[in-house]
Structure 1
Amino acid sequence: MTEGPSANKKLKIQNEFDKSPNWANAFRLTSVQAIYPAFAVLQLGPDCNAHMSVPFTDAKCNFRKVGLEVGGLYMIDFDDIFSKGIDLLIDLQNNSRELTEEEQRAVDILDHFLKDKEKHQQSLHKVLGGCKSEEEKDEKTNSFETHMTIALAEHLFGKLAPGQSYVIDNRVRGKKEKEMCQCRLDHCHGRPKFDCTGIGDEKAWHGFLDIVFSSHPVAAITTQELYGDENDEESETVYDEDSPDGKTICEMQLNHGAENQAIAQTIVFSYIQRKRHPSFQNYLIPNILISPYHFRILMYDSLNDILICSVKLPIFQDKEKCEKLSVESIVFLWIVLHYRIFCVGINVTELLNSGSIKDLRDIQSNFPERAREKFKLYEESSTIGISSFLPIPEEIFPSLDSFLYGKRLFKPRRLWKNSI
């Protein structure tokens, strides 16, 4: 029996998978012993400033992890949210179904990346692992931020994302009009594109994403510091714009301020996607927070007001050497960047029916309450592609000029006495 073209293509690709050690590592995620990343549920505290006009860099979320007083944190596994991605890997390994065109494109992207993995890890090692002393850090912090953003976009995010194209925030370009990837290796031919990446509304949380991809809605943030300990991380941004206008957020982390920035961006971005794409099956929109060694996945469901954050995932197998990329982390990142076809969202009905929670408010972030009178603005007015934000005037102590057109609450006493 002669098989159709799509079946032949599927079988051909499967044979290539069988010969690839990188795909063998990827397929380990399909075993029953596989351990997936977990997400914690976050809530915003009363000191959150979502009701104020502040840039993302000054966002204050006052967040906390949510769980039972006895029994630890509420936890959601990666495969609970991205079950379609894990199921696809299982079917690929077993060669048990034909792929849709969208799935085939996604698989081809991962396949091409894994074939060129050695080249990409050489480039990332040269840029991310090349500045280790405190003296180098002090001298190169500003330029390193730009170099890292470009390298991650060119050799990681941009190669795994739908569409495989991106735009970098034009404010990180510095004095160089044509900033190139600093790996300068023969296989690197990328030409970064710079453009405006502002999102939000100047009357509320607002600011700029570092990178924009050109397919599903995704974004990312890079760090301003080279190194940090387990609790010391900072950030920058990347996002994707190939779906009708969609984007996803991705961030880098090296200090607590970056965590607040990432949360604010994730929430704003989700409301923008919900407004622009009312046909989405769910609005659990990701943002990736990334440092030179790790990344976290933040996601916010603007329909159900649920905010979650993953544990750290390593970019390299050994962060001290920064030489070999972690295939497992690459696969997780690929699934997240293709969330439009792999993410099933959070099944709130199942959670309530199973008794895992008694009330949806137990796991909601409380963002509408924290945004106060600005909440409708987030739902209706936040937008994307903004080149600049007008500053909102701050209140200052009174000056003589401020009284020129003022209104006195009491009649001047001297005039009153002279009229007697």
Structure 2
Amino acid sequence: MAEYASSSTSKRAKLSGSDLTVDDLSVSDKSELTTAFFKLCSTHRANNIMLIPYKVNSCNAAVTSGGVDFAKAFCDLETLEKGFFLGDVFRKGLDIGIDFLTGKTPDAKHEKIMLKKLVNFLTVGEKVDMDFKNESDRTAVLANHLFAKLAISSYYRIDKKCKNKRNGNKCSCSDENCLLTGCFGDTSIGNTKVWHGSVNIIIENDIVIENLEDEPDSPSGKSPMEVKMKSNILRNNPKLVAEAIVFSFLQKKRHPELSNLLIPCIGIADNAMLLMFYDSEHDVLLESSPIPLYSSTCKNKFSVEAVLIAWLAVNYRFLCTGLTDDMLPYKAGFFDQAKDCITVYENDLTMQNVGPPPVKETILPSEWSYNAYLLEKQNNLNEVSIKLTLEKEK
């Protein structure tokens, strides 16, 4: 990884010191990015990234006996009769990106910053060793080397219970000089009366990223059946559904100025990622089709498709245009399922310090006081013990 870092620095410096143009990308990068954008607006379903609307037939979002942790969330989902495509909810992102490929650079400063993040990432050709000892290391590397590098702000929090917290602010990649641009901390969201819990990563308090691998610290060797099972855990995942619903209600409360409340959450597992959306104003739940996370030609690079989707997702507040009129009738029915606790979802969700306070480790004194009284009593008990032993031997 070290050799990648030095070349990356020089390329970034060159890009940041000049005006942004499509010629900053190589012909190969332009071709791959064009193909990735094409998959967001293709008329052929097989070539497009789909959006599947779901109805919630039943769930444990409003358990009367108390709230449910995300890890124990239950959702029975039904696929509704009409499907959509991912590009339809990221129209601003498509406009900016496709205009750029045709030679037009946006005028707005924040749009230039976002676009430069994408161009820098593709120009550098970010390479990371993907062979990790455990899933906690993998989570930190994905946060540091993919999602944070594409977001308009590179700050993030990783769940403080993540096992690679032992590395401090050092990244888990193979570059010993690579440091995290975020930190470990409290990533809990929700309310203990309803769905709640800690998520893997929160980027700038704006988007949740969840590593959905079954065993966080399982050995790296996987059987074909295990790989198949892991690819299946992305689809209809109740934990990701619960987090997407809670986070959308939370963002509605925290940012009443938002005109679009179609909030994505990113789920990752093994070699794939997908987006789970929920709109807490219109009660619409959408799930994207899985996207290959890594390049098919280089195991140490992210696929351009995943880079583009990650860029759109982490910057959704600027690039997502929300539900189309065609999507509005396809209700999830969550309000009906959670009607006994819906006011909690609408008014009482919070971020951080959700759940019981952590158990503090007891720190024992370094010195101990022992006195003559205790010594005398110990000697008395020793005498009693000796007498009892002699009586047993008789």
Bucket of the pairwise TM-score, normalised by the shorter protein: 0.7 to 0.9
CA distance in 2 between counterparts of 1:188 and 1:390 reads 33
CA distance in 2 between counterparts of 1:189 and 1:109 reads 19
Q: Please, which of 279, 304, 307 is the counterpart of residue 257 of structure 2?
A: 279
CA distance in 1 between counterparts of 2:160 and 2:236 reads 20
CA distance in 1 between counterparts of 2:234 and 2:31 reads 37
* Matched residue, 2:382: none
SS in 2 for 1:232: helix
* Matched residue, 1:111: 119
Q: What code does the residue aligned with 1:195 have?
A: G
In structure 2, the CA distance between the partners of 1:29 and 1:175, relative to structure 1 (3 Å rule), is closer
In structure 2, the CA distance between the partners of 1:19 and 1:148, relative to structure 1 (3 Å rule), is closer
Q: What code does the residue aligned with 1:110 have?
A: L
Q: Does 1:204 align with 2:194?
A: yes
* Matched residue, 2:339: 372
Q: Please, which of 210, 220, 225 is the counterpart of residue 209 of structure 2?
A: 220
Q: Does 1:79 align with 2:87?
A: yes
Q: What code does the residue aligned with 1:155 have?
A: H
Describe how 1:210-249 pairs up with structure 2 within 5 A: 210-214=200-204, 217-222=206-211, 223-225=213-215, 232-233=229-230
* Matched residue, 2:168: 178
CA distance in 1 between counterparts of 2:27 and 2:269 reads 29
CA distance in 2 between counterparts of 1:166 and 1:113 reads 18
Q: Please, which of 185, 188, 191 is the counterpart of residue 178 of structure 2?
A: 188
In structure 2, the CA distance between the partners of 1:33 and 1:208, relative to structure 1 (3 Å rule), is closer
CA distance in 1 between counterparts of 2:274 and 2:106 reads 32
In structure 2, the CA distance between the partners of 1:75 and 1:11, relative to structure 1 (3 Å rule), is farther
CA distance in 2 between counterparts of 1:257 and 1:82 reads 21
* Matched residue, 2:150: 160
Deviation, 1:210, is 1.1
SS in 2 for 1:297: strand
Q: Please, which of 49, 54, 78 is the counterpart of residue 37 of structure 1?
A: 49
In structure 2, the CA distance between the partners of 1:191 and 1:29, relative to structure 1 (3 Å rule), is closer
Deviation, 1:257, is 10
In structure 2, the CA distance between the partners of 1:313 and 1:346, relative to structure 1 (3 Å rule), is same
SS in 2 for 1:176: helix
Q: What code does the residue aligned with 1:113 have?
A: F
CA RMSD for the aligned pairs? 2.8
Structure of higher RCO (CA pairs closer than 8 Å, 6+ residues apart): 2
Deviation, 1:62, is 1.2
Given that 2:246 and 2:345 are in contact with CA atoms closer than 8 Å, whether structure 1 keeps it comes out as yes
* Matched residue, 1:311: 289
- CA displacement 1:118-169 (0-9 Å, x = unmatched): xx32x2xx2x335xxxxxxxxx5xxx12101111111111111220121111
Q: Please, which of 118, 128, 131 is the counterpart of residue 129 of structure 1?
A: 131
SS in 2 for 1:41: strand
* Matched residue, 2:384: none
Q: What code does the residue aligned with 1:165 have?
A: Y
* Matched residue, 1:295: 273
SS in 2 for 1:148: helix
In structure 2, the CA distance between the partners of 1:288 and 1:91, relative to structure 1 (3 Å rule), is same
Unaligned 5+ runs, structure 2: 1-15, 359-394
Q: What code does the residue aligned with 2:353 have?
A: I
Q: Please, which of 48, 59, 79 is the counterpart of residue 65 of structure 1?
A: 79
* Matched residue, 1:403: none
Given that 1:200 and 1:268 are in contact with CA atoms closer than 8 Å, whether structure 2 keeps it comes out as yes
* Matched residue, 2:315: 338
SS in 1 for 2:161: helix
Q: TM-score, normalised by structure 2?
A: 0.75
In structure 2, the CA distance between the partners of 1:257 and 1:282, relative to structure 1 (3 Å rule), is closer
Q: Does 1:382 align with 2:316?
A: no
Tell me which moved more, 166-175 or 191-200. Answer: 166-175
- CA displacement 1:33-53 (0-9 Å, x = unmatched): 68431110111113x111121
CA distance in 1 between counterparts of 2:271 and 2:241 reads 20
Larger Rg: 2
SS in 1 for 2:249: helix
Unaligned 5+ runs, structure 1: 1-8, 68-73, 131-139, 234-252, 353-359, 392-420
CA distance in 1 between counterparts of 2:236 and 2:52 reads 18
Q: Please, which of 50, 53, 65 is the counterpart of residue 61 of structure 2?
A: 50
In structure 2, the CA distance between the partners of 1:87 and 1:11, relative to structure 1 (3 Å rule), is farther
- CA displacement 1:232-258 (0-9 Å, x = unmatched): 23xxxxxxxxxxxxxxxxxxx763798
- CA displacement 1:294-349 (0-9 Å, x = unmatched): 00100001111000101110011239x7333211221121011111111111123x
CA distance in 2 between counterparts of 1:161 and 1:383 reads 23
CA distance in 1 between counterparts of 2:68 and 2:242 reads 10
In structure 2, the CA distance between the partners of 1:191 and 1:276, relative to structure 1 (3 Å rule), is closer
Deviation, 1:385, is 1.6
Deviation, 1:390, is 6.7
In structure 2, the CA distance between the partners of 1:365 and 1:258, relative to structure 1 (3 Å rule), is closer
